[in-house]
Structure 1
Amino acid sequence: MIQHAASTSRIAIPTLTTPRFVMRPLRRSDAAALLPTLGDEAQCRYLSRPAFSSEEELWSWLADPSWTGLTWIAQDTDGQVVGRFVAVPQDEAGVEEIGYITCANRQGKGIALECTAALIAHLFGGDKPAHRLKAEVDADNVPSIRLLERLGFVREALHLSYEETHKGICDVAIYTLSREAYAASASQMRDT
């Protein structure tokens, strides 16, 4: 589970596009758009921290300059924020941890699938492609696990009583996707 916020990043974050969304760098106004979701206890059930109580508290977390990850904010064609997607470099070179959340009022519409697929394509492409992606997921977070499996991730490990969060001790599943498996899957899809 991603432990921290989005970055105001010193690295240029490229804009990614999908058929329905634009994924762009974080802006200050995004805190207001994300607060209805990240300020709701039910929506934050699987985060490592409890819901945010104010826009200022959320922005402080989102804009924390010490965080090393990159953030994309997905917006629809009307400019409405629909989700947040992140990639965090790991200690092992070429490994990125991904994370995602769809705004509560837009869940169940394929946004996480479409935007996470675009993020994966970006992370495995480009000048310095990752060789492996990972996601740490609360083992009770069935929708997130289903999403990862649809995207080709496989469960590599299940850590029992692994992490203490605001809801107590959690089991954490580790899902991974290699660049080779992703390329083989993409090639197979093109051939069908």
Structure 2
Amino acid sequence: MTPVPVLATARLRLRPRTVDDAKALLPTLSDPDAMTYWSHAPFESVDAVRAYFAEPSGTWRAWSMTLPDDDTAIGFVSVGEKREGAVSEIGYMLARSHWGTGLAREAVAGVIRHLFVTERQRRVFADTDPDNIRSNALLESLGFTLEGRLRAEWETHIGVRDTFLWGLLATEWNDR
């Protein structure tokens, strides 16, 4: 698996996520509103989050978002390599106390920049619930194209859901 380097943006430090981030991220990962469109039901304990973070994740890797002067995780960006060295899926989560600040967008942009510029990937994609207005707006603001809707794609803790597929090519990225 490709290593997780430390990255920096204007307001964030992105470092490898560890099981020790579970305590800081539990308030978000146990929040029913924050977890509504996540593929997992809200977590009930720090131990459950630790176990989730410790599970072998195949080709997935994750960066914890931290503020430059505080190493406490406030969210994370995950990347799953789908085609070796060329195509990755991206996902993200940010603590409610930071919603509306642009930090999620900044973190996702920082990881995308790394994927396209340093790793020379050709495509990044995301899948979102059609009702997840904030996440869909974030992807659109970064230049992703809505490529399709898969009906009844996911069976989640809130029922069977459609998914939007968003894609961004390296040739389209202009480091927004």
**TM-score, normalized by length of structure 1?**
0.86
Contact 2:26 2:49 in 1 (8 A): yes
The answer on whether the counterparts of 2:18 and 2:53 sit within 8 Å (CA) in structure 1 is no
1:158 to 149, 171, 175: 149
1:13·1:25 contact (CA, 8 Å) conserved in 2?
yes
Confirm or deny: 8 A CA contact 1:138 1:173 kept in the other structure.
Answer: yes
CA distance in 2, matches of 1:67, 1:57: 19
What's the counterpart of residue 32 of structure 1? Answer: 23
Aligned to 1:83: 75
Moved more, 23-32 or 86-95: 86-95
Instruction: Write out the 4+ residue segments of structure 1 that deviate beyond 3 Å after TM superposition.
Output: none
Query: 1:143 is paired with a residue of what secondary structure?
Result: helix
Structure 2 match to 1:169: 160
* Equivalent in the alignment of 1:140: 131
With structure 2 as the length reference, what TM-score do the two structures score? Answer: 0.94
Gaps of at least 5 residues in structure 1 are 1-9
Measure, in 2, the Cα distance between the counterparts of 1:136 and 1:92. Answer: 19
Total equivalences in the alignment: 175
- SS of the aligned residue for 1:125 comes to helix
Q: Is residue 62 from structure 1 mapped to residue 47 from structure 2 by the alignment?
A: no
Among 85, 102, 105, the alignment partner of 2:97 is 105
Larger strand percent: 2
Measured on the aligned residues, the alpha-carbon RMSD in Å equals 1.5
1:94 is aligned to 86
Deviation of 1:27 (Å): 2.4
Gaps of 5+ in 2: none
Q: Indicate how the Cα distance of structure 1 residues 92 and 173 shifts in structure 2: closer, same or farther if over 3 A, else same.
A: farther
- Residue 134 of structure 1 and its aligned partner are, at CA, apart by 0.3
**In 1, Cα distance between equivalents of 2:58 and 2:127:** 17
Identity of aligned residues (%): 34
User: Separation in 1 of the partners of 2:3 and 2:78?
Assistant: 14
